[in-house]
Structure 1
Amino acid sequence: MTQRAEGRTVAILAADGFEEVELTSPKEAIENAGGVALVVSPEDGEVKANRHREHGIKVPVDQKLDEAKAEDFDALLIPGGLFNPDALRVNQKALDFASAFFAQKKPVFSICHGPQVLISAGLVNGRKMTGFKAIQQDLKNAGAVVSDEPVVVDSGLVTSRNPDDLPAFNDKIVEELCEGKHQAQKQSVVA
């Protein structure tokens, strides 16, 4: 086991209805690389996963969103699922939290429907991205340059399509986490 990410801490922004494997698999990859992955949520106590459309496990919340600060973390992970992004994208504190990682030039990782949070935060214009097939047009409409690939990396922003792409997504998460800040990470490009 390599400890490449030792000393690095990732905030996993999640609400009820996240896709279980899109949180658990990257979390395991981060921890296997020596990093720490903490669940940050507007919820208190624990958040409930979905496995596709069925109920999944419950995951303990490590830190309430109200108390979380981007400067205390090295990177941000936003898992997908149908309900998680919907809850987060209408929560101003979640949008501000995500925006702070871009402002601080820290890596941001998002999979499946997770990029919808970044759309609502106004963070995708001009960025190379991918996402679940059903949201790719939404990404384009928000100004992203979209390609239908397993993983797309754009200066510290790592996006992926679905659980089938998790091996490649997890590899890029660890790689980008180890690289640290990206000076080219930006909030948005004005069209």
Structure 2
Amino acid sequence: MPKITEARILIIATHGFEQSELEFPRDQLRVKGATVHVATPDGKPIKGWEGSDWGRAAEADLSFDAIDVAGYDALVLPGGQINPDLLRVDDRAIETVKAFARDGKVVAAVCHAPWLLVEAGLAKGRPMTSYPSIKTDVVNAGAEWVDQSAIADGGIVTSRNPNDLKDFVGKIVEEIEEGRHAKKAA
């Protein structure tokens, strides 16, 4: 069984990520012993969103073009309104999400980031949660929306909001330690 201490985790994000939804998983997964990298569209730092204004920058380890899916065990998608809305129209981001899912790797999305799962065609037929304002989008994509802090289904982890980040990280660890997940037929 894989251990979190041996895991390599990729976070993809762009400007406007919800500050805590990138920082908390990144930092907590590192504390648990995982190697965590942050990829941004151009490999440059990105600015977070905190409360009602711009927040702190997050350093990038690589660009989207440099992502090698084979080198990672899991993908984490922070929310916020701006970040996932920009990423769901970025072909490189969507292809990355699809590639992780195709390989049976963990894909974890919090808050508004399930928009990326919808765009990648991963919602149909699975229980999911999200920020309440995108519930209709998730349901219209064929998911069964559940009001729960964190849900895992076949390696796909979803969570509602920053208040659920501890449960979100817990589910990510649990799913990584279960190993590869069989692809769920849509």
Whether TM exceeds 0.5 here: the answer is: yes
How far residue 13 of structure 1 moved from its aligned partner, in angstroms, is 0.8
Which amino acid in 1 is paired with 2:40?
A: S
Task: Tell me which residue corresponds to 1:72.
Answer: 71
Aligned to 1:95, the other structure's residue is in SS state helix
Any residues of structure 2 matched to 1:70-149 within 5 Å, and which? 70-149=69-148
Q: Contact 2:150–2:167 at 8 Å: present in 1 too?
A: yes
Q: Contact 2:43–2:64 at 8 Å: present in 1 too?
A: no
TM-score, with length taken from structure 2: 0.95
Aligned to 2:6, the other structure's residue is in SS state coil
How far residue 36 of structure 1 moved from its aligned partner, in angstroms, is 1.0
Task: Tell me which residue corresponds to 1:170.
Answer: 169
Q: Is 1:56 equivalent to 2:55 in the alignment?
A: yes
Aligned to 1:6, the other structure's residue is in SS state helix
How far residue 43 of structure 1 moved from its aligned partner, in angstroms, is 3.1
Q: Contact 2:151–2:171 at 8 Å: present in 1 too?
A: no
How far residue 45 of structure 1 moved from its aligned partner, in angstroms, is 1.6
Q: Contact 1:19–1:80 at 8 Å: present in 2 too?
A: yes
Distance 1:158 1:130 in 2: 9
Q: What are structure 1's unaligned runs of at least 5 residues?
A: none
Task: Tell me which residue corresponds to 1:17.
Answer: 16
Q: Contact 2:39–2:62 at 8 Å: present in 1 too?
A: yes
Which amino acid in 1 is paired with 2:87?
A: L
Distance 1:52 1:100 in 2: 33
RMSD: 1.1
Task: Tell me which residue corresponds to 1:26.
Answer: 25
Distance 1:159 1:52 in 2: 22
Give the number of aligned pairs: 184
How far residue 120 of structure 1 moved from its aligned partner, in angstroms, is 1.2
**Identity, % of aligned pairs?**
38
